[in-house]
Amino acid sequence: MAEEITEWSLDTPVAFFVFNRPELTSKVFQKIREVEPPTLFLIADGPRSGVPSDNKNVSQVRSIITDVDWECYVRTLFSDSNLGVKKRIQTGIDSVFNDVERCIFLEDDCFPNTDFFRYCQTLLEWYDGDDRVMDISGSNHLKTWHPDRQDYHFTRFGGIWGWATWRDAWDHYDPEMTKWADPVFQNRVRDFYGGGSMWEYVELVLDRTHKNEIETWDYQWMFAKAINWGLTASPSKNLISNIGFDANATHTQNESSPMSRVPRHSLAFPLDQAEYVCTDAEYDKRYYKLTNSIWERNRYLRQLRHFYVRNHS
């Protein structure tokens, strides 16, 4: 089934997470301005104590995003103190879903094209109430995946660099991953990922997240989807470029990463709805191979740095 051919306008709420990077914030906010969402959540973390530059940068960022020059309901969620990425994003999404039932999410380094918004809105409508699909990603880290025969596909690996979901899906989110301690749920995750090396990789990152060894919010979302066998819709062509790989980033500091600044592509509308809802196993294998190689390389570099510091201090 194809999307209806009509003059398109965005009627889905958008939430924008920002912190202390004015230049990136301005670029992404301009793309939001182009589609004029009718509801806009502006979610900002506060300055860190002991980092004097944060005060100026945080103030500048907030000035940029509050310059809303279209008709729009705006809700600002600005923290006076620094909550950190894990708590700020989790509490921000919680607040969004206290007000609305579906939303598109962007962070300050996730640079979309305008097709991203229409794609998300279309799939939010198509899969509303379908428990098999828990979120929609604008990222395709493989750049393209069979665009000649499909507009999107389903995967067990979701990308949160530009994404969308529904309140009832987010209700499954637990920032503490309390169910991870139960072998029943660990086995459910293993079965979801099919065992093997893919499961070993997932088990490692989820276990470290549960032990608070990784300061993040998105692996908890990965866990919530896995124990509910929820899939992610991913576009056949990448719609988001992460422009924030630099020394100022929280997690994405390697500017030479193959995931940095992946080119964006356009989709042809109206979209054709997928005939089946099931994971694309070959895409998952290639995505896992890419992300695992990056993760292993970063772990090796961390070990080298630790060895150097230990032996030169």
pTM tops 0.85, yes or no? yes
Q: State yes or no: pLDDT of 151 exceeds 70.
A: yes
Can you give the pLDDT at residue 313?
46
- How far is it, in rounded angstroms, from Cα 255 to Cα 289? 20
Can you give the pLDDT at residue 222?
98
How far is C-alpha 201 from the geometric centre of its chain's CA atoms?
A: 19
**Which residues on neighbouring strands pair with residue 255, listed in sequence order?**
none
Inter-helix orientation angle 52-65/22-35, to 10°: 10
Can you give the pLDDT at residue 291?
79
Domains in the chain, ordered, with CATH?
14-172+228-311 (3.90.550.10)
Six token digits for residue 108: 């300050």
Task: State residue 271 phi and psi, 5-degree precision.
Answer: -75, 155
Which has the higher per-residue pLDDT, 311 or 219? 219
Reported residue count of the chain is 313
Which has the higher per-residue pLDDT, 6 or 183? 183
Which residues fall within 8 angstroms of residue 42, CB to CB, at 6 or more apart? 16, 18, 62, 65, 66, 74, 75, 76, 77, 78
* Residue % of the chain over a pLDDT of 70: 86
Residue in 128, 119, 113 with CA at minimum distance from that of residue 150: 119
DSSP state of 274: P
pLDDT tens for 118-148 read 999 999 999 999 999 999 999 998 999 999 9
Three-state DSSP class for 13?
coil
Task: Using CA atoms of 195, 197, 199, 204 in order, give the dihedral in degrees to the nearest 10.
Answer: 150
Helices marked H in 36-107 = 52-65, 85-99
Mean pLDDT of 181-186: 98
Strands (E) across 35-178 are located at 39-44, 73-78, 102-107, 110-112, 133-137, 152-155, 163-166
How far is C-alpha 50 from the geometric centre of its chain's CA atoms?
A: 29
Q: State yes or no: pLDDT of 194 exceeds 80.
A: yes
pLDDT tens for 96-117 read 999 999 999 999 999 999 999 9
Can you give the pLDDT at residue 2?
57
